[in-house]
Amino acid sequence: MTTSTDTVRLWSVTKQYGSGAQAVTALEGVTTIFSQGTFTAVMGPSGSGKSTLLHCAAGLDRVDDGKVVIDGTDLSGLNETELTLLRRERVGFVFQAFNLVSVLTAEQNVALPLRLAGRRPERGQLLAALGEVGLGSRGGHRPGELSGGEQQRVAIARALITRPAVLFADEPTGALDTKTSRDVLSLLRDIVDRHGQTVVMVTHDPAAATYADRVLLLADGRIADELRGRASVETIAARMAALEAVAC
Ligand SMILES: Nc1ncnc2c1ncn2[C@@H]1O[C@H](COP(=O)(O)OP(=O)(O)OP(=O)(O)O)[C@@H](O)[C@H]1O
């Protein structure tokens, strides 16, 4: 059963790449819920299926078996156009490489999702979104004039401008130094706490996962372990080490 607090729900999700002797099962029978207003970190050894889980849960990839429901909509019932619209309106993405458009200003980058949806962005809304991420005075600057952390903040403002049901972040601090990473993670935590935003973040870094209130650990395409509540870096690192020891 799906409840109104289940922002994203996966039922027995299986995803394979390739076929025959070349087939790789990247996810196998993954069932989980990302509830509204929660911050989940997805961890696991290299190749355990983290990116595949994120792509399937975000509707970027179709599943082979099982079901994904975002904000009450079963993705298997959607054609490609409907899926694109749902992603555009209900899902936000943040990537390791920021993926900002270099010739556009911060303000124009934040406006992009609204323009793509055929809406005319209001200047006040764009400035408020940049203000939320601490960049209210940098709207006229292009990505090349901003630091890595500032660019990731612009990317977060852009991802949230449509008020998505869920924000997926794939290694959002992977390209940042320790101090800047902490600032970006505090910002994500703050967005969850103040706005009830649902955030799902893939990370290799136990320190980054301490900002989440739940850590999902994958191994061989399955959920192998789970930590509920804010966990310490030592606890997370120990659980990861246990999984990596099995994987070797
Ligand atoms: N397009 C693809 N074609 C074939 N196999 C793939 C493809 N994408 C992923 N895989 C395989 O699926 C499995 C899961 O990959 P995935 O990228 O989801 O893992 P991951 O946990 O995100 O890894 P990493 O931490 O190294 O980024 C791996 O065995 C990978 O080689």
pLDDT along the chain (248 residues), means of 10: 77 95 94 97 96 96 96 95 94 93 97 92 93 94 96 96 95 93 96 96 96 97 96 96 81
Residues 6 or more apart in contact with residue 235 via CB below 8 angstroms: 227
Cβ of residue 52 lying under 6 Å from some atom of ligand 1: yes
Cβ of residue 50 lying under 6 Å from some atom of ligand 1: yes
Cα first-last separation, the chain = 38
Q: Please, is 95 exposed, middle or buried when counting C-beta atoms within 10 Å of its C-beta (0-12, 13-18, 19+)?
A: middle
For the whole model, what pTM was predicted? 0.95
* Ligand 1 midpoint to CA 24 (Å): 9
What are the residue ranges spanned by the domains of the chain?
6-247
Task: Name the CATH superfamily housing domain 6-247.
Answer: P-loop containing nucleotide triphosphate hydrolases (3.40.50.300)
CA 54 to ligand 1: nearest atom: 18
- Write the pLDDT tens digit of every residue in 120-135: 989 999 999 999 999 9
- Write the pLDDT tens digit of every residue in 165-177: 999 999 999 999 9
